Amino acid sequence: MKIFLNPFVFIALIAVTVNVMATPEEDKKTFQQFYSERFSNIDLDEFSNGVYALDKDARSQWEAMSDFPPYEDALEEGEELFNTPFENGNHYASCFQNDGQNIRQNYPLFDTQRNTVVTLELAINECRIHNNEQPLPYKKGDIAKISAYMASTSEGSATNVSIPDTKEALSAYQAGKQFFYTKHGQLNFSCANCHVQYAGRKARSETLSTALGQTTHFPVYRLKWEALGTLHRRFDSCLINIRATPLEAQSETYKNLEYFLSYMSNGLPINGPASRK
Ligand code: HEC
């Protein structure tokens, strides 16, 4: 991917300094404030629509498509899968609070027993394993459909990721934050370079979305994939674009990155699944 950048964006680079000592709550405030100042005409909740909050032309095409969303069938299949009992007669609902309805906004969560981040997809597979079923592959297929259905039951609920007051939870958050701001790949870009500093500008023909709101609408149906994919699959695409090596889905690094990114979007409405280019 060729990236065209204006020289004056380097001024913006200086404007965003990363405070390594800040608490997650302070980080979130600074993060959200940065975007609301940069895009002062856009309501905070609108960032849940990703690039379509910023790019008017792309938005009208996208809105036209949403009359018949391309993920409709997959979403229905997801509901069916979710409600199909396992061989032992139990259901997915038995593994989750509130029978798995309207809980998407609380994920990823931090499990203080195991000291690890639990994403919704991980919890889905752990539910299967607990019920003597094989785990599903993580990036696409049935797991994305089930996750999409679960997300749809949280439509409009505010992202509500919490960080328990333990050393381990904080360090998982910090690791995610560090990955986000560290440069990767042969092109030597950080996530923040494109989705914070250059957000709203073009990389080739695509407008770059804000990192704020990036987690609210997953899994996403990408026209490029012709299918639903999970957030970790999307992380792969960005890493490949900057010629970095993608990581395993549900690796500690990806989970921590998701934890950080989701926490930054606390308060923004869940609106998944969604469609993207
Ligand atoms: C060279 C620029 C670039 C870098 C670096 C980059 N991305 Fe992206 N990313 C894009 C482009 C282009 C898109 C598609 C347009 C959009 O939605 O921003 C995208 C899309 C995304 C999306 C999907 C947004 C949506 O609404 O569906 C996520 C999530 C994402 N990037 C996360 C990351 C993360 C995490 C990193 C760091 C590992 C990263 N990106 C690094 C260019 C970049």
Q: For residue 124, what is the domain's CATH number?
A: 1.10.760.10
- List the single range of 8-22, 124-138, 195-209, 251-265 with lowest mean pLDDT: 8-22
Instruction: Give whole-number Cα distances, 219 to 20, 104, 141, 152, 273, in Å.
Output: 30, 11, 11, 10, 5
| Residue nearest atom 32 of ligand 1, based on CA coordinates | 235
CB atoms within 10 A of CB 229: 22
Provide the pLDDT for residue 65. 86
**CA–CA distance from 104 to each of 5, 256, 268 (Å)?**
36, 17, 12
Structural domains counted in the chain: 2
Cα 208 to ligand 1 centre (Å):
7
Q: Give the mean pLDDT of 61-79.
A: 93
228 lines ligand 1 (CB under 6 A): no
pLDDT at 205: 87
Choose the residue to mutate in 238, 241, 277 for probing ligand 1, maximizing ligand atoms within 8 Å of C-beta: 238
Residues 103 and 236 in one domain: no
The predicted model gives 181-208 an average pLDDT of 96
64 belongs to a structural domain = yes
Residue pair 269/159 in contact (Cβ under 8 Å)? The answer is yes
Please indicate whether residue 36, judged by its CB atom, sits closer than 6 Å to ligand 1. Answer: no
Per the omega criterion (within 30 degrees of 0), is the bond before 85 cis? no
pLDDT at 19 over 90: no
What is the atom index within ligand 1 of the atom nearest the CA of 207?
15
The answer on 81 and 48 residing in a single domain is: no
CA 62 → CA 57, 74, 119, 175, distances in Å?
A: 9, 18, 28, 34
203 CB within 6 A, ligand 1: yes
For residue 6, pLDDT beyond 90: no
Report pLDDT digits (tens) over 122-159: 999 999 999 999 999 999 999 999 999 999 999 999 99
The pLDDT of residue 17? 59
For the question of residue 238 being annotated catalytic, the response is: yes
pLDDT over threshold 80, residue 12: no
User: Do 31 and 125 fall within a single domain?
Assistant: no
Average pLDDT of the chain to the nearest whole number: 93
- The amino acid sitting at 44 is L
Q: What is the pLDDT of residue 99?
A: 98
What per-residue confidence (pLDDT) applies to 229?
Answer: 98
Token pair of 55, please? 């790019």
Rounded CA separation 73/175 (Å):
37
Q: Are 46 and 53 spatial neighbours (Cβ–Cβ below 8 Å)? A: yes
- Report which of 225, 182, 238 is spatially closest to residue 74, judged by C-alpha positions: 225
Ligand 1, atom 36: nearest CA belongs to which residue? 191
Q: Is 240 in the pocket of ligand 1 (CB under 6 A)?
A: no
pLDDT score at 1: 47
Is the pLDDT at 202 greater than 80? The verdict is: yes
pLDDT of residue 209: 97
Max alpha carbon distance in the chain (Å)? 61
pLDDT tens digits, 83-102: 999 999 999 999 999 999 99
Clarify whether residues 59 and 194 are in a common domain: yes
> Does 51 reside within a domain?
yes
